Amino acid sequence: MQPRKTVQTIGIISRPRRSNLVVVVPPLLKWLEAHGIQSIIDEETASSLPDGSKGQTRERVADASQLLLVLGGDGTMLAAARLAAPRGIPILPINMGSLGFLTGFTLEELHPALDDTLEGRFSLSERVMISVELDRAGKVIDNQRVLNEVVINKGALARMIEPELTIDGDFVCRYRADGLIVASPTGSTAYSLSAGGPIVHPTVESFVITPICPHTLSDRPLVIRDSSSVELKLSGNTESVFMTLDGQRGIPLQPTDLVRISRAKEPLKLIQPPKKSYFEILRSKLKWGEA
């Protein structure tokens, strides 16, 4: 990261409708101005200001910024990651949600974290992003980047689905399950964990493939190298089946669809508290060792 003199513009992305933004944002903007930093705010952040200021779209905020300051929980962080990673912009995450695996700084640490970041006193973690292509009838109709996971899952009232998994051209398995998760190490503590998958350290170059409520109990989570090419397609019943990206976007799938998953070229640059280890965050969030 650059020292203070080269960081001139910070973009601010906030969790929508967060009540305490009105208390946090105005003094934050004054602090940045006093330190010679230009701020660009998104529309959610602007809605918290009493003067009726208008914000920019998140895409424009990311385009114009050298650093993204994220005020929110993991959901806000996931949305910001999809903007920041392909642009090579670091993210400074401030937790204003409940759990916050990805947002390692507390609200009380906001200004000290900004000071440390601008002076270069911080720890930078590069997190693998997942590249997802949706191929329909031989044509790529969607191409996305996600931080946590890609999920193939059934609708609420649909029957069990049968996704077929291929890795590097080798057929692996035809599952009968409620769904299938392909997660990054960062995403291993999200949906995959709740479905029985392992926790994987962010530096381990891997993907975790976790079936959701499999019909065959021997269908267990699988850990593979993230240099692998993963393909998913549907067989059997394909009614009410969706591809869900980071839990925030759902795309209905058709019988001929092919989902290709690989490691994205650009990692996410995530600023973390220099004195908090990954395992300390796990202990805190998962309540390890507590009675």
Closest residue by Cα to residue 47 from 22, 64, 79, 73: 22
Pick the catalytic residue: 42, 74, 178, 246?
A: 74
Between the CA atoms of 221, 226, 229 and 235, what dihedral angle is there, to the nearest 10 degrees? 20
Q: Residue 63: how many CA atoms within 13 Å on its side-chain side?
A: 5
Amino acid at 24: V
CA-to-CA distance for 248 and 70, rounded, in angstroms? 17
- 168 is annotated as an active-site residue: no
CA-to-CA distance for 42 and 25, rounded, in angstroms? 12
Strand partners, 126: 269
What is the token pair recorded at 83?
């903007």
Q: Is the dihedral of CA 102, 108, 113, 116 positive or negative?
A: negative
CA-to-CA distance for 22 and 152, rounded, in angstroms? 38
Strand partners, 155: none
What is the token pair recorded at 170?
């080798």
Q: What are phi and psi of 27, to 5 degrees?
A: -65, -25
What is the token pair recorded at 86?
């392909």
Closest residue by Cα to residue 24 from 91, 81, 105, 90: 105
Using H for helix, E for strand and C for coil, what is the string for 190-248?
CHHHHCCCCCCCCCCCEEEEEEECCCCCCCCCEEEECCCCEEEEEECCCCCEEEEECCC
Which amino acids are annotated catalytic? 74
